[in-house]
Amino acid sequence: METNKLRFHMTHIKNLPSILKNQELLAYSEMALRNTLYQDIANPRIQERRFTTSIRLAPHGSLHEYVPFYFAACSPMLYSVLHNGTNQEEMVYLVTDTETIDQSGVPYLFTDGHAIMVISEFYSDLTELNKIDWPLMEDPDRKRRRQAEFLVHKKVPIQLFTGFAVINQLAKDRVEELLKNHQVNKPVGIRRHFYYK
């Protein structure tokens, strides 16, 4: 069972100052409550479906009440973002792992496929991580299952991130400068293989 693999949240670099200033990554619903400005990279139709998708497990709510993480980098969402005109250099991964989230006590769930799809199942017990199709996470052609999500309820404190991943040295320099300006000490790694060629 893949209990402690890395989890990836992708955001636009313009969102880092707010995340670092607040010392937490907020779910969409929490950003709306706090009137947090952000650079939206999501597909509006998908966002509408996430707003109306109800969670059947505790702590319940809609998908917008959860911070989404992917089980693998180089996701179909990144592909979609690129085809909408965003440069990969502007995209930053906030990286954590299951054990860190679990030990922190923040509520979480995970799915075996894209969370808006009716056939995707939700789980809350880490022993059910075997429901994730792990070999598929390396197969970029299997869209729904490749978009399985690890969902953290409401927010993720900055200390739960193990670091950041970027595409190149220029992006690394930009992120490190933002971290320094916000007095956050986390590593930034260049991970070209997390991005499309």
Q: Which residues are catalytic?
A: 50, 149
C-alpha to C-alpha distance for 72 and 123, rounded to whole angstroms:
18
- Helix (H, G, I), strand (E, B), or coil: what is residue 120? coil
The encoded tokens of residue 138 equal 């390396």
How far apart (Å, rounded) are the C-alpha atoms in residues 161 and 175?
Answer: 14
Minimal CA–CA distance to 93: which of 109, 63, 69, 76?
69
Supply φ then ψ for residue 18, to 5 degrees: -65, -45
Task: Could you list the beta-strand ranges (E) of 52-97.
Answer: 66-70, 91-97
Task: List, in order, residues 6 or more apart from 48 with CB less than 8 Å away.
Answer: none
